[in-house]
A and B are shown apart, each in its own frame.
Chain A
Amino acid sequence: MKQSEFLNVVMPFKDKLYRLAKRLLVSKEEAEDATQEILLKLWSKNESMGEYKNVEAFAMTMTKNFCLDRLKSKQASNLKLVHSNYEDEKTSLQKQLEAEDSVRWMERIMEELPEQQKMVLQLRDVEQYEFEEICELLDMKPTAVRVTLSRARKAVRQELIKKHNYGIG
């Protein structure tokens, strides 16, 4: 496979890889490194790439495994991933400010979820994968995916309600 062909295959889903990596690793830099690593790995395997019927799914699974390994090794060495990507592009409009505030709040909520729930939520509600695809990507049973997804969504709802009520009261 030529470099240009490879890019054509990879381009449509490289953002998905990055977003999944960022969901898990939180830090922007870490996620960028992870994505780069995954793309390089894919490139080094590109001769056998024709054998995978779904390169995207394969790449997503690689990303998942890579990030989880990374998290594990960080935990083992007692390091915490730090990130400094709380962007603050201030706009004067009150409404936009509020919207940004709620985005940041949601980000914080998502960070608190367990990894499995993070991934399912990311794949379903952000990337809008079908259940079968998620099962394949995460190597989970369909019922397990549903349960995890439901739990994740409810957990987010609970946090939001808390915040909402707090905002009013």
Chain B
Amino acid sequence: MELDNIERLLEKYFEATTTVAEEQTLQAYFSQEEVASHLEQYRPMFNYFSIAKEERYTKQVPLKPRKRNYKWLSIAAVVVLTVGIYFGNYQIERNKEREQARIAYEETKKAFELLAENFGKGTDKVAYLQEFEIAKQKIYNNN
């Protein structure tokens, strides 16, 4: 490759008017062992570009099994929600019933207590009657 051609290409290169093919010519020239000494300074540039092209992405291409089926996920969610609401309501109803039963029980207990108290009063009064009976018996005995 004649030197003046390379020099001309270099000039064009720095004006960014070379074609890809011309740039490859330049790269080929600078990859030789012998380069004109006044062009030596450009060598690292072209060498670097060809080295940089060698770099590889060495990691595995990570392809996870793609997107789960969200349709099924939503159906499952609806089912869970429905069941949840149904049993939730059921539970609340049952709690309410239990509460009512407890209140009724309390009321009944109160009523029974009232009854028992009054019975108690009755027995006290009957105790007087007992006294009367004893006194009566005494009188009979004396006669």
Contacts and interface: CB of A to CB of B under 8 A. Distances in A.
Nearest to A39: B61
A7 B83 CA distance: 44
Contact of A35 (B13, B14, B57, B67): B57
B45 interface: yes
Contacts of B62: 36, 39-40
Interface residues of B, number: 30
Nearest to B64: A40
A169 B114 CA distance: 120
A17 B61 CA distance: 12
Nearest to B27: A125
Interface stretch (B15-23, B96-104, B125-133): B15-23
Contact of A32 (B16, B48, B52, B57): B57
Contacts of A102: 43-44, 47-48
A154 B57 contact: no
A48 interface: no
A15 B57 contact: yes
Contacts of B52: 19, 122, 126
Contacts of A7: 61, 63
Interface string A125-169: 111101000000000000000110110011011001100100000
Give the interface SS of chain A, mostly helix, strand, loop or mixed: helix
B53 A126 contact: yes
Contacts of A154: 14
B45 A103 contact: no
Among A103, A126, A146, chain B packs the most CB atoms within 10 A around the CB of: A126
Contacts, number: 86
Among B13, B43, B61, chain A packs the most CB atoms within 10 A around the CB of: B61
Interface in B31-74: 40-45, 47-49, 51-53, 55-57, 59, 61-64, 66-67
A160 B14 contact: no
Contacts of B17: 146
Among B23, B48, B55, chain A packs the most CB atoms within 10 A around the CB of: B48
A16 B73 CA distance: 38
Interface of B: 13-17, 20, 23-24, 40-45, 47-49, 51-53, 55-57, 59, 61-64, 66-67
20 contacts: A3-B63, A6-B63, A15-B56, A15-B57, A19-B52, A19-B55, A46-B66, A102-B48, A103-B44, A106-B44, A124-B23, A125-B23, A126-B52, A127-B53, A150-B15, A153-B13, A153-B14, A157-B45, A160-B45, A164-B40
